[in-house]
Amino acid sequence: MSNLTSSINIAKIVRVVPRLRNIEALLLIFVLALNAFELAQIQLSTIEKVTTDLFLYWTPLAAFAGGIHMILRKYAREADSMILPIAVALNGLGLSEIYRLDLAQIASGGTELFAMKQVVWTCLALAAAAAVIIYVPTHLFLRRYVYIAMITGIALLLLPMLPFIGKTINGARLWIGLFGFTFQPGELAKIALTVFFAGYLVTRRESLAIVGRKVLGVQLPRARELGPILVIWAASLLVLVVQRDLGTSLLYFGLFIVMIYVATGRAIYVAVGLTMFITGALVASRIMDYVRGRFDSWLNPFDPAHYDAVGGSYQLVQGIFGMAHGGIFGTGLGGGVPQLVPLAESDFIIASLGEELGMAGLFAIFALYLLLVYRGVRIAFNHSDDFSKLLAVGLSFVIALQTFIVVGGVTRVVPLTGLTTPLLAAGGSSLIANWVILGLLLRISDSAGSKNRELLAETPTSVVNA
């Protein structure tokens, strides 16, 4: 009887696997129906009728999202069931708002459109995520290539500095141009550097956690253990100085500080890291015109000297006015005038959505990001090995920190940067990089589920019955 009971309990555990995928399927159906409603509402608000053009923007996302769901059923049956629906919801909402901005552009006689490009990039990004799920049997093999990941990350960061292919756009040299297409290699560099940080910190965590001398009641790390922080700090400042990009510099350094804190559990690294970065940024704001301009526009955006200056606070102020126009509940999709904000489809898509969905809509979007990051951190703590934990935390925090930097810049919490909102904003490189991150998180979560099931299946009958 006890063996029969054990078999029944294990059978129940096994049946949980397809149940996760069934939950994912139901959530996907809801999310895709919501996306269709968003597109229909935009058409009704702007052109006052629903046309078949709606399917040009809805069908590719629905088909590729359904394809990834089927791939998960075959190759990663125990992967997290919330990540894919949340990501599709954000991607679909961003695509809908970009389509809405295109309609406004067409109405004013403009020809620079982004929605169809975003559809193509979305398909490529989802295909990249699918390739990760299929062809990466386990994330643990990445640990063999830690230093290759470091070299790859540095190479990707340096690519825009090369002659002929490097491109300067909006004052920042972050892009490469090939065959008429532009791509931001730094977006992929953050994945490579996350792999490197995870592998490096696993091997060095013991020495990094060793307590050094006590100064003024605070246990300081040994001087030689501060070497990695100094190197990453110098690299971040190099990105700031050479590529003129404050956001990317903050993203890389913040990522390393969080991962070293997770690896060692010592808050002193966070304190030292923040002090170093803030000091470097303040010094740069005094000696570099680019950084000083960003700080001045942040502190005094309504000053006419900054508002009317080239590259000044005009964009920031217009975004603030747009969100104020939206109020609590917004003007409704298609009911506002977000096209008045420069780069409303990319850098300031949060302001566009804030105007049309209001504060309530923005809080719902932030809740989705919060839930997405929570699922990533949950995946990390479901693993027993340190590399998996650090990799999952690092990948999750990339999304969290990038979202904070962008939203903080649009709302004047931090100086404005050139980063894009993950999954929402127009931009192919960002979209591909973030979907690859999600593919890795799904692969990591599947291995955690497999290990848990194996442990439960190997549990003695007496324990199961107890």
CB 434 within 8 A of CB 382: no
Q: According to the model, what pLDDT value does residue 224 have?
A: 63
Could you write out the DSSP letters of every residue in 101-119? HHHHHHHTT-----HHHHH
CB 376 within 8 A of CB 392: yes
Q: How far apart are CA 107 and CA 121, in angstroms?
A: 25
CB 81 within 8 A of CB 21: yes
How many domains does the chain contain in total? 1
Burial of 12 (0-12, 13-18, 19+ CB in 10 A): exposed
166-169 β-sheet, strand order:
166-169, 172-178, 181-183
Nearest Cα to 350, choosing from 419, 416, 410? 410
Q: According to the model, what pLDDT value does residue 300 have?
A: 86
Q: Residue 145: which domain range?
A: 2-465
Q: According to the model, what pLDDT value does residue 450 have?
A: 58
Q: According to the model, what pLDDT value does residue 465 have?
A: 39
- For the record, the structure tokens of 251 come out as 């993203």
CB 167 within 8 A of CB 176: yes
Q: How far apart are CA 210 and CA 208, in angstroms?
A: 6
CA distances from 71 to 24, 77, 135, 225 (A): 12, 9, 11, 44
Q: According to the model, what pLDDT value does residue 265 have?
A: 78
Q: How far apart are CA 408 and CA 100, in angstroms?
A: 24
Strands 172-178 and 218-221: unpaired
Tell me how long the chain is.
Answer: 466
Q: According to the model, what pLDDT value does residue 449 have?
A: 61
Nearest Cα to 208, choosing from 141, 275, 273? 273
pLDDT in tens, the chain (466 residues): 555 555 545 444 444 456 888 999 999 999 999 999 999 999 999 998 999 999 999 999 999 999 999 999 999 888 999 999 999 999 999 999 999 999 999 988 888 889 999 999 999 999 999 999 999 888 888 888 888 888 888 888 778 777 777 777 766 667 777 766 777 888 888 898 888 888 888 887 776 666 556 555 555 566 666 666 667 767 766 776 666 667 777 787 788 888 888 887 777 778 877 887 778 777 776 777 777 777 788 888 888 887 888 778 888 899 999 999 999 999 999 988 999 988 888 889 999 999 999 999 999 999 999 999 999 999 998 888 888 899 999 999 999 999 998 999 899 888 877 788 999 998 888 999 999 999 999 999 988 665 555 544 444 433 333 3
Indicate the Cα dihedral angle 176, 258, 261, 201, nearest 10°.
-20
Q: How far apart are CA 67 and CA 350, in angstroms?
A: 29
Q: What are phi and psi of 326, to 5 degrees?
A: -70, -30
Type and span of the H or E element at 220 = strand 218-221
Kindly report the pTM of this predicted structure: 0.88
Q: According to the model, what pLDDT value does residue 266 have?
A: 75
Task: Report the Cα 416 to chain-centroid distance in Å.
Answer: 17
CB 124 within 8 A of CB 61: no
Task: Report the Cα 231 to chain-centroid distance in Å.
Answer: 24
Q: Side-chain half-sphere of 441: how many Cα atoms within 13 Å?
A: 32
Q: How far apart are CA 49 and CA 411, in angstroms?
A: 34
